[in-house]
Amino acid sequence: MLNFFKKIFTRQSSDIIAQSNSVIASITIENNTDGSLNIVCDWPEFNTDNYESMNGVAKAFASSIYSINSGILAKDIIDTLKNHDKTNPYNSVFVNNVFSELINMEKYSAINQSYSPLISPLEVFKTE
């Protein structure tokens, strides 16, 4: 699915990518020791010399945000974790722990969603 989005947005931002094979924008999620997250967004500093590429970068960046928010990247992230550096056995233990936590979160989410009422109690007695 990610390749589908890459094809759509690469055509529209090909001028940017053709200029350079480097990163054009990034979203970084940092985990802090207190459990909070930092979300760091980075894109080029636009000016009169490169403003023509702004729409292409914006489309690519929006595609990244959409892919993260909708879960499109879930399989790619899992595949990346599966292909971790196996020379250190602790990496395998860490990745297995991540997968266990993901399974626990999915179960917890499914349990919490199944108990929410389809119609709120206030809606039952609402008259129009």
Q: How many domains does the chain have?
A: 2
Q: Residue type at 56?
A: G
Asked whether residue 5 falls in the same domain as residue 64, the answer is: yes
Residue 78 lies in a domain: no
Asked whether residue 22 falls in the same domain as residue 69, the answer is: yes
Asked whether residue 69 falls in the same domain as residue 98, the answer is: no
For residue 110, the model assigns a pLDDT of 81
Q: Is the pLDDT of residue 126 over 80?
A: no
Residues 6+ apart with CB under 8 A from 14: 56
Asked whether residue 89 falls in the same domain as residue 126, the answer is: yes
Asked whether residue 89 falls in the same domain as residue 66, the answer is: no
Q: Is the pLDDT of residue 127 over 80?
A: no
Domain that holds residue 47: 1-73
What pTM did the predictor assign?
Answer: 0.64
Q: What residues pair up with 39 in beta bridges, in sequence order?
A: 29
Asked whether residue 69 falls in the same domain as residue 105, the answer is: no
Asked whether residue 33 falls in the same domain as residue 6, the answer is: yes
3-class secondary structure, 114:
helix
Give the tens place of pLDDT for each residue, 17-51.
445 568 899 999 999 999 999 999 999 999 999 99
Of 124 and 107, more confident: 107
Of 118 and 89, more confident: 89
Asked whether residue 114 falls in the same domain as residue 58, the answer is: no
